[in-house]
């Protein structure tokens, strides 16, 4: 069955960086984009960006430009998101989610990771 398994919770100080992983299994890794979506405590969902596991190309929401990096390791079917210059407002649950790679359009997020809580506190 399709699984996206994320790394454990992290606690970071303001100004630091955090790297969260998402390991995919149960499907062809290069057939689906991986997206990162975050959710601050008690708040809604916020799309951060997307990575194509095939070539590693990325596209980020403007809000995160310059602060976010997304990478992948095809040998382990794992995708990573790294967020730098952390501030308290970055405290959130970070989810990875996949969407099918299609020729003419994009697809919805049909499978999600379990989420990784990142807490930014001094």
Partner 1 sequence: EIVLTQSPGTLSLSPGERATLSCRASQSVSSSSLAWYQQKPGQAPSLLIYGTSSRATGIPDRFSGSGSGTDFTLTISRLEPEDFAVYYCQQYDSSPRTFGQGTKVEIK
Looking at residues 78 to 117 of the shown chain, list those that interact with partner 1 (rule: CB under 8 A).
95, 97, 99, 105-115
Find the binder of partner 1 among 3, 28, 31, 59 (CB under 8 A): 59
| Contacts of residue 77, Cβ cutoff 8 Å, sequence gap at least 6 | 23, 24, 25, 29, 53
- The answer to whether 27 contacts partner 1 (rule: CB under 8 A) is no
Buried b vs exposed e over 86-120: b needs ≥16 C-beta within 10 Å? beeebbbbbbbbbbeeeeeeeeebebbbebbbbeb
Find the binder of partner 1 among 35, 90, 92, 118 (CB under 8 A): 35
- The answer to whether 46 contacts partner 1 (rule: CB under 8 A) is yes
Chain contacts with partner 1 (rule: CB under 8 A) = 35, 37, 44-47, 50, 59, 61-62, 95, 97, 99, 105-115
């Amino acid at each position: 069955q399709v699984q996206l398994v994320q790394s454990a919770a992290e606690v970071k100080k303001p100004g630091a960086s955090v790297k969260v992983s998402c390991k995919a299994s149960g499907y062809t890794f290069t057939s689906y984009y991986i997206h990162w979506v975050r959710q601050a405590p008690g708040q809604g969902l916020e799309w951060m960006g997307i990575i194509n596991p095939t070539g590693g190309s990325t596209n980020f929401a403007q809000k995160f430009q310059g602060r976010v990096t997304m990478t992948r390791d095809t040998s382990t079917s794992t995708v990573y998101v790294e967020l730098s210059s952390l501030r308290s407002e970055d405290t959130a649950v970070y989810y990875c989610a996949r969407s099918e790679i299609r020729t003419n359009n994009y697809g919805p997020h049909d499978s999600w990771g379990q989420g990784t809580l990142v807490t930014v506190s001094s």
